[in-house]
Amino acid sequence: MPLPHTLTEAERDPAVKAVLDALSDSEMREIIVEAAARALNNGNTTLTPKEAAKALGCGERFLLDGCNKYGFPYIGLGKAKRFGPQELRAIQDMCRVPAQPSRLAKARSAARRKK
């Protein structure tokens, strides 16, 4: 099979489809995340709310509600909202839930205090 960059557009579409069909969902996700990370690390790329939600693993509505109601950072371009790497990291930090001790750990701690 010739290299992808030497194929005509009509030949390339079925070739790309065949490659995509051969990949599992986890492989596809890994490729998409890696490509998004590379693009974001260039610093010039911003994502639409839909793309940013996919990169964060949440819904688009959650992301937009967070911007409108809870102070999630975004880049405002007119009415459009865009998200760069710094904004995505800040949103992840805002949504981070601190670790909580389990009920078993609390019970053990209480038992030790009684002794």
Antiparallel, parallel or unpaired: β 80-82 and 75-77 = antiparallel
46, 35 Cβ separation under 8 angstroms = no
Q: Is the pTM of this model over 0.85?
A: no
- Please indicate, yes or no, if residue 57 is contained in any of the structural domains: yes
Domain count for the chain, please give it: 2
Asked if residue 73 and residue 50 are part of one domain, the reply reads yes
Kindly state whether residue 99 falls inside one of the protein's structural domains: no
Cβ atoms of residues 85 and 42 within 8 Å: no
Number of helical H runs and strand E runs in the chain: 6, 2
**Residue 81, beta-bridge partner list:** 76
Per-residue pLDDT of the chain (115 residues; tens, 9 = 90+): 445 556 566 666 776 677 777 777 777 777 777 777 776 666 667 889 999 999 899 999 999 999 999 999 999 988 899 998 889 999 999 988 888 888 888 888 888 887 6
Task: Determine the Cα–Cα distance for residues 69 and 90; give it in Å rounded to an integer.
Answer: 16
* Residue 65 domain flag: yes
> 64 with 73: CB under 8 angstroms?
no
20 and 32 belong to one structural domain: yes
Within a domain: residue 115? no
